[in-house]
Structure 1
Amino acid sequence: MDTRINLQIISPDGGGNTSPTEMIAKVEQLIRPGPNGETPKYQLLEGNEIWFVIDTDDWGDDIDKLRAYTIERDDMNVAQSNVCFEVWLCFHFSPERQNFNGMHTAQGWKDHLNEVVKPGGFDSQRHPLMIKSAIDAAAENYQEEDDRPLLASTQVFRLGN
């Protein structure tokens, strides 16, 4: 939506482990010279940023390790959703924090999102056009403790900004 922004999504190889510690290892592999001096795949230039977009549901202490890894770096950020990424997606359709039975689980959010977005659920081709209202709604409803989102909150609006 902005030609000045070049967004590259880096997923684990073969749909593998997406834990925060595995994401750190993947980033290190991509931005550091190889063991024999090979040029890294990505060279971080001034103004470049790496964003770790994570859920809260499964990672426990690994989230603290990821935050410790990024805290000293101006070019790395964490955008955490509590419980899961679907919290962010719901803000594309509602200006309010969601409250429903089952909201403490990722599956509850997935089911809820399919109820909120009919027919067919979130459409990754069409619904990102609603990002401005999602940013505003998520920011307005954001609640945290120690820079971590509380239940039904997300930091993904920071990445959107």
Structure 2
Amino acid sequence: MSRINRTKLLDRQHDRRDAKLFIVATEGEVTERQYFGMFHSTKIKVEVLATGDDHKSAPQYVLDRLNDFNEKYDLNDDDMLWLVFDVDRWSPKNLSLVCREAKQKNYHLAISNPCFEVWLCLHFADLDPLDKSCQDFKARLKILLGSYNSSKLNLSLYEPKIADAVARAKQLHSTAIQNWPPTSGTHVYRLVEILLQSLNK
């Protein structure tokens, strides 16, 4: 079966010939889709493959979604495919297998420990060493912002502080060797940094 041309993913707002595609498969259903929706321009399109109503959010399912998409569409060499998921509920063995397969396929990893809310916290402050669990980081966001609803992000609060989040996350875990942060932190900055570079070209 022939693959679908990538331009089908672009609309009139994009430069259909030169726009770069970022395909981002996520563990979450809503939060990540909202967040990456901030990165829109004529130059790039972020296509988020979120977990659906089936709630299949394990890393292997996230990888499967990316594989299915990659087989369906005829992408350019400079389009990028990313996996965005958390370590909080998954075994290191399971995570390692997914990361190995992803790297074999030239996919990129943006993994958070323990969860995506770490990345959101880093927009506003350094991490508190007392925060360990995902619930801790959600509670921290409520303290930092006054309220936090993962289904309804106030993007106007995050957008001006994206560069701060990149700097803080990179300071925590700057090595490119690790598949995921061994302590509280996030590699989402790896994806966001490239998005920012692509927007500013």
Partner of 2:74: 43
The equivalent position to 1:72 in structure 2, one of 101, 104, 107, is 104
Unaligned runs of 5+ in 1: 33-39
Matches within 5 A, 1:1-150: 1=39, 3=41, 4-32=43-71, 40=72, 42-60=73-91, 61-74=93-106, 76-94=107-125, 96-100=126-130, 103-118=131-146, 120-121=147-148, 123-129=153-159, 130-142=161-173, 147=178, 148-150=180-182
Q: Which segments of structure 1 move beyond 4 Å, counting only runs of 4 or more?
A: 143-146
TM-score (norm 2): 0.66
C-alpha distance in 1 between matches for 2:185 and 2:90: 17
C-alpha distance in 1 between matches for 2:45 and 2:95: 26
1:15 deviates by: 5.0
1:124 deviates by: 4.0
Mapped contact 1:19–1:62 kept (Cα < 8 A): no
Partner of 1:154: 186
User: How many positions carry a matched residue from both structures?
Assistant: 148
Identical residues among aligned pairs (%)? 22
Mapped contact 1:142–1:149 kept (Cα < 8 A): yes
Task: Give 3-state SS (helix, strand or coil) of 1:151's partner.
Answer: coil
Deviations along 1:5-42, one digit per CA (max 9) or x if unpaired, are 2101111231511111111222222222xxxxxxx1x3
Partner of 1:36: none
TM-score (norm 1): 0.81
